[in-house]
Amino acid sequence: MVNLPQHSIRVILTHQAPSGAYPASPTFPTYHYSWFRDGAFIAYAMDVVGEHESARRFHDWVVRTILRHREQAERAIRRAERGRPLEEDYLHTRYTLDGEVGDEEWPNFQLDGLGTWLWALAAHVRRRGDNPYTLPSSWREAVKLTARYLAALWAYPCYDLWEEHPQYLHPYTLSAIYAGLQAARAVGVFNLDGQATADEVHRFVLTHGVRDGHLVKQICPPEQEATLDDDLTTAVDASLIGVSTPHRLLSPTDPLMQATAARIEAELHCEGGGVHRYRADTYYGGGEWVLLAGWLGWYYVEAGERERAQTLLRWIEAQADPEGNLPEQVSTHLLAPAHYSEWEARWGPVAKPLLWSHAMYLILHRALERREGH
C-alpha cells in the first residue's frame, strides 16, 4: 500500500526542475509551466514537511524570474500611477521552468499568485528561523518590487485564480494581495504605505464583496454594475476559503467567514465527496477538485472542526491511483457532464499527478497531525 504523504513529497521533489520551478503537472502538456500561485502553495507544503531546501530553490526561481521581467513590472506601476490601461505591461501568472515567457497566448494578468508568493516566502523565512533583515539582496529587491506592483495595481480587474472573468475584481485575489502586502512588511522590505494599502484592500472587500451575509465570488467595478448577471452577485466560489486560510483577511472563526464556509459547504461540497470550484463550472465537466478538498479541510482544522477535516482527508486519499498519484479533479459528480468530452478532446485526460493537489494534501495531513499533538 502506498504511503501517500511520503509519495506526495517524492512526487514534488522528483519533478522540481533544476531551476527550482515546480511544473503544475509533469504529464499534462498545458501545465508544463510554473505558476506563482501553485508553486507558492507547493513551496509552503515543502516547508511544512521540513523540505526547506526545495522551498528555497523555488523562491530563488521566483526572485530571478521577477527581476528578469522587472521592466514590465515598472511600466505597469507607472501606468497605474497615471490611471492608464496596462496594455501588455504586466508580470505573467506563469513562466517556463527557466523563467521565460511562454509561446502560447494565456490569460496572464492575474495578481493573486504574486500575493500568495509573498505570503509563502514570509512563511519560509519564519519556519527556517531566518532573520528577515539578512535576506539576500536579490530577494529583498524582488519582494519590494512585487509589493510595489501589487499596491499599485490591486484595484485593476484581472483574471481570477481559475483564469476566468477578467472584467471583475475577486475577493480571493484581493485577499492574496492583502496577505502579500502584510508579508512584505513582515520581512522588513515594505513601509507603512504598504500597510495603508492593505487596510484599503481589506475595507474594499468588506464593503463590496459581501451579499446576504457571506462573501461572493466576484466584485463588479462600479462602471460595469449594470452588466453584472444577477446570479453572480450572490455566487460563492470555493477559493473564498483562502480569504481566511491562509490569507487572514478574516479569521477562520469570523462570523462572515463562517457564513461563507457554510455556503460553500452547502453548494459546492458533495456529501462524502470532494469540492467543486463554483456552480457554473464547465471545465472538464465541473468535477470535484482534490486540492479544494484539502483546502476546505485545512480551513476546518483552523476553525476547530477536526472531524470534517478528517473526512475530507480520507476522501482525498481514496482518489489516489495505485501508484499514489492525485489528479486535478475527479469526475464522479459532474456539474456540467456535457462539457467533459470537449475538454478531453482538446487537452487529453485530466491532469495527473497535479503537484498542487499533492501539496494541499500534505498541508491538510500535517495540520491534522499538529492538532493531534504529533
Active-site annotation holds for 163: yes
What's the whole-number mean pLDDT along residues 274-298?
98
- To 10 degrees, the CA torsion angle through 209, 211, 215, 216? -80
**Catalytic site residue 307?**
no
Q: How many domains does the chain have?
A: 1
Query: In the chain, what are the helix, strand and coil shares in percent, each to the nearest 5?
Result: 55, 5, 40
Mean pLDDT, rounded, for 125-133: 82
| Contact (Cβ atoms closer than 8 angstroms) between residue 274 and residue 330 | yes
Asked whether the predicted pLDDT for residue 302 surpasses 60, the reply is yes
Query: Distance (Å, rounded) from C-alpha 168 to C-alpha 220?
Result: 5
User: Does 69 have pLDDT greater than 50?
Assistant: yes
Q: CA 289 from chain center: how many Å?
A: 13
Chain mean position to CA 100: 21
Contacts of 200 (CB under 8 A, 6+ apart): none
112 and 177 in contact (C-beta within 8 Å)?
yes
Beta strands in the chain (DSSP E): 34-35, 94-95, 210-211, 214-215, 288-289, 329-330
Gap between the Cα atoms of 302 and 293, Å rounded: 14
Average pLDDT over residues 194-219: 94
pLDDT over 80 (residue 344): yes
Query: Which pTM was predicted?
Result: 0.96
pLDDT exceeds cutoff 80 at 131: no
Provide the domain limits for residue 128: 4-371
- Of the pLDDT bands very low, low, confident and very high (cuts 50, 70, 90), residue 374 is very low
Active site residue 328: yes
Which residue is catalytic, options 89, 112, 288, 328?
328
Neighbouring residues of 358: CB distance < 8 A, sequence distance ≥ 6: 8, 11, 12, 42, 45, 326
Q: What is the CATH number of the domain that holds 364?
A: 1.50.10.10
pLDDT of residue 61: 98
Which pLDDT does position 271 carry in this prediction? 87
Q: Tell me the three cell numbers of residue 7.
A: 509519495
- What cell does 17 get? 526542475
Tracing cell 463550472 back to the chain, one arrives at: 281
Given a cut of 80, is residue 231 above it in pLDDT? no
- Which listed residue (163, 267, 305, 344) is catalytic? 163
Q: Which residue has the cell 456539474?
A: 335
Q: What is the mean pLDDT of residues 254-277?
A: 96
User: What is d(CA 240, CA 330) in angstroms, rounded to the nearest whole number?
Assistant: 21
pLDDT confidence bin for 134, thresholds 50/70/90:
confident
| Backbone angle region of 28, left / alpha / beta, with phi > 0 → left and psi within -120 to 50 → alpha | beta
Asked if residue 296 lies in contact with residue 312, where contact means CB atoms within 8 angstroms, the answer is yes
Which one of the listed residues 51, 89, 160, 237 is annotated catalytic?
Answer: 160
